[in-house]
Amino acid sequence: MIPIVFEGHEAFRIRLILSTLSGKSTRIEKIRPDDLNPGLKDYEISFLRLLESVTNGSSIEISYTGTTVIYRPGLIIGGSFTHNCPPSRACGYFIEPMLYLAPFSKKKFSIIFRGITSSKEDGELDFIRWGLLPVMEKFGVREVELHTLKRGAPPNGGGEVHLLVNSLISQPVTVHILDIPKVSAIRGIAYCARVSPSVANRLVDSARSVLRPAGCEVNITTDVWRGENAGKSPGFGLTLFTESKNTPLRYSVDDMGGPGETPEDIGERVGYNLLELIQQSGCLGRNQLELAFVYMVIGKEDIGRIIVNKQQIDGKIVSLLRDIKKVFGTEFFFKESDEYEGCLYATAKGVGFSNASKKIA
Amino acid sequence: LKHVVVKKVWDINKLIYMNNIDPEDAVSRWKREEEEDTEDEEEEAEEEGDEGDNFFQKKNSGDSDEGIESNKVTLKPSEELKEKWSEGSEAISELKTRFFKSAKQ
C-alpha cells in the first residue's frame, strides 16, 4: 500500500493518530531538516514507542538521520503498562493523543505515565480531566478516569498519573450541538507542590478578583501536595473551568508558575484568559476542538454538527482539516449561523469507522 | 463601469481545502473578507491580521521548537486584557449574556 505522505514536524502526534485510526500507512518526511539537531526529538521517539505499546503489529521505520518516519499501524489493543515520559515534555503531551485511541481499543487502556506532570506547553492534568474528558463523554465515551498519583513539576518531575479508559465502544456517537451553553458557575483547581500552602490561596484570591466583574459564582478548590507525592521540584498552577447546567461541556484554561512568576501573575492571567476563551468560543473552547473534530470524522455515517466561533478558525485548525481530508477523504462544511453572531456550524459526515478489535456479538 | 469595485469573494469552505494556499494565509484571507463586510473595523483588524502573519513567520524561521506541537491555548499577558475585562467594560457586559444569573456575589 502506498503510504500517505506528510511533511514537516508539525502535528506529529495527530497525524500518527489519524493514521492509526484509519489503518493507513504514513510517511512523514522532512522532519526538521535544517535544524542544528535534525530529525526527531526524544519526546517524539518516546511517543512512537508509546504508540507501539498500545498497538499490535505496528511497524515503525526511522531513517538514518531521523528526518523521515514510516509508520504502518497495527490494531489498537491497549493494555496496562507504565510509560516513562522524557523530561523534555510533560505527561499531557502523551496522554492527550491516547484519548483519541483508547475508546476504540481491544482491551482497556490502563497506563501509568511517569515524569513531569505539568508544563507551559502541555495541557495540565486538571485541564485534561475537566476540559477533555467531558468532550469524550459527549461523544459517548463515559468511563474515563485520570488519577494524579504524584505531582511532578519541572525540571525534575517525579510525578505519576494513571489513565484508565473503561468504555470500549465501536464508534463515537453523532453529535448535534447547535446551541452555545450558558455558564452557570466558574470552578477551578489551584495546586501547589513543595511550596507553602499559602501559594494556593494566593492563586485563588487573585483569580477571584479578576473574575468578580463577571458576576458569576466562582468556586476554586485548593490542592496542596506534600511529602513524597509532591514530586522532586517545587511548583504551582491553576486550572479554571466553567460549569453549565444542561451539558457536561466546560471551557477550560490552565497555566503553571514559570521562573520568576508570582502566584498572583498566574491567577490573573488564567482568570483573564478564561473570560477571553468564553468570549471566543462556540460550544467548545479552541483547545477542545481538535478532539471533537476527529471524533466527528470517525463517527457513524451520519452528519454531525457543532457550533464553532469564527475566531477559532486558525491556521492550525485548517491544517488539521487538510490532514483529515488526506487520511479519511472527509471534508468539513462550515455554515453561517443565523442565531449566534460570529458563529459557524461545522458539519461533517462520519466515515463509518468501526472498532476493528471489538468482538462481533 | 469604473465605480464597480471588483472584490474576490472567499468562501471558507473552499479556502480550507485549497492546498496551494498556506493554512495561515487562507485564514487571514478569509478574515480580511469578513472584515470588509463589517467595514468600521476593517483597518484595525487588517493590521491585526498582518501582525499575525509576521508573528508566525518569525516563529517558523527561528528555532523549530517554537512550532512546538500542543493544543494548549496561547495565553495572552494580563496587561493586554486588564482593561478589556475591567468592571463595567463593554466586553464584560456582553459576556454577561453568556452566564446564568446567579444569586451569589
Give me the residue spans of the domains in chain A: 4-165, 183-279, 283-349
List the single best residue of B85, B94, B97 to mutate versus A (max A Cβ within 10 A): B85
Min distance A34 CA to chain B CA atoms (Å): 9
Contact assignment for A325 to B17 by CB distance below 8 Å: yes
CATH class of the domain at A283-349: alpha beta
**% residues pLDDT > 70 (chain A):** 98
Distance, CA of A178 to chain centre: 23
Instruction: Show me where the domains of chain B are located.
Output: 12-98
The C-alpha of B1 sits at a distance from chain A's nearest C-alpha, in angstroms, of 32
Tens digits of residue pLDDT in A196-217: 999 999 999 999 999 999 889 9
Q: Which long-range contacts (CB under 8 A, 24 or more apart) does A44-50 make?
A: A44/A9, A44/A12, A46/A83, A46/A84, A46/A85, A46/A86, A46/A89, A46/A94, A47/A12, A47/A13, A47/A16, A47/A93, A47/A94, A47/A97, A48/A16, A49/A83, A50/A83, A50/A94, A50/A98
Does B69 contact A216 at a Cβ distance shorter than 8 Å?
no
Query: Residue B5: what pLDDT?
Result: 66
pLDDT digits (tens, 9 = 90+) for A255-292: 999 999 999 999 999 999 999 999 999 999 999 999 99
Q: Cα(A204)–Cα(A168) distance, rounded to whole angstroms? A: 38
Q: Which residue from B minimizes the CA distance to A184?
A: B100
* In A165-237, alpha helices (H): 198-211
Band the pLDDT of A354: cuts 50, 70, 90: confident
Average predicted confidence (pLDDT) for chain A: 94
The neighbour count for residue A264, using CB atoms within 10 Å, is: 16
The CATH classification number of A4-165 equals 3.65.10.20
Cell output for A165: 479508559
Torsion of CA B79, B85, B86, B91, to 10 degrees: 140
Q: What is the pLDDT of residues A155-169, one digit of tens each?
A: 999 999 999 999 999
More confident residue, B42 or A328: A328
Average pLDDT over residues A82-106: 95
Is the Cβ pair A265, B78 closer than 8 Å? yes
Axis-axis angle for helices A12-22, A286-297 (nearest 10): 20
From edge to edge, which strands make up the β-sheet containing A183-193? A217-225, A183-193, A235-244, A252-256
Q: What is the ipTM of this complex?
A: 0.81
Whether domain A183-279 has CATH 3.40.50.720 = no
The pLDDT assigned to B6 comes to: 64
Q: For residues A115-120, give the mean pLDDT.
A: 93
Q: What is the pLDDT of residue A123?
A: 87
Task: Report DSSP state, residue B99.
Answer: B
What is the model's pLDDT at position A125? Answer: 94
